[in-house]
Amino acid sequence: MVSLSERQRKILNFIVGFTEEHDFPPTIREIGETVGISSTSVVNYNLTKLEEMELLTREREVSRGLSLNRPKLVEMGLISARRFRIPVLGKIAAGTPIQVDARDSSNPEDWIELAEGLLGANDKLFALRVQGNSMIDASVLDGDIVILRQQDTADDGDMVAAWIEGDEETTLKFLFREGRNVRLQPANPSPDYAPIIRSADKVRINGKVVSVIRVLH
């Protein structure tokens, strides 16, 4: 159990408040002036103690080189988890590919809120509602919401949202490259769900799945 002195608690509270207001951390001098410590060496000593407790990290050669360990601060109850919103941009097929209404993140059909730390809030994230059962062995069920990081590349074995050019349809599958082709592999042993194989130049990656939200029916 981490035990903070009153001075360390004041320093930590000031760093949190300053960073949230300005989007950058305070300097050692600003910490001392606000907390009432005239000696920068005393501020440095307490910052080192906070660093040893893994509550922050420091780049000593940088004037504003403090970074808070927010997940640990939240875990200890020293700060509240910040929440951020992810746009829900429509449906995606986990089965036979379907046409999807194109939407941009400025016009979502809905939003979902997540606590910072579960996923990187600065990532380019979006969400889609799953339609179909082709990914049930990957614990993705019909009606679930998948959260994706927007990217146009992915590694073999990644679960992706793939747009199939020519078919003008999109699908949720595991990605595998096979020579000049791409195999979009379902996760359902039923013969109703066959792999989709297309020329690599006909498959466009729209995003990689980074999390699944179970929707209870």
Q: Structure pTM?
A: 0.65
CB environment 67-103: b (16+ within 10 A), e (fewer) = ebbbebbbeeebbeeeebebbbbbbbbbbebeebeee
Residues 183-201 have pLDDT tens digits of: 999 999 999 999 999 999 9
> Would you state the CATH architecture of domain 6-75?
Orthogonal Bundle (1.10)
Question: What confidence score (pLDDT) does residue 84 get?
Answer: 81
Residues with catalytic roles? 134, 173
Q: Average pLDDT over the chain, rounded to whole?
A: 88
Q: What residue ranges do the domains of the chain occupy?
A: 6-75, 83-213
Domains 6-75 and 83-213 share a fold: no
Residue-wise pLDDT for 134-147, tens only, equals: 999 999 999 999 99
Average pLDDT over residues 27-45: 94
CB 64 within 8 A of CB 26: yes
Topology given in CATH for the domain delimited by 83-213: Umud Fragment, subunit A (2.10.109)
pLDDT in tens, 85-122: 889 988 898 877 655 554 555 667 788 888 766 666 55
Mean pLDDT of 60-82: 84
* pLDDT tens profile 8-20: 999 999 999 998 8
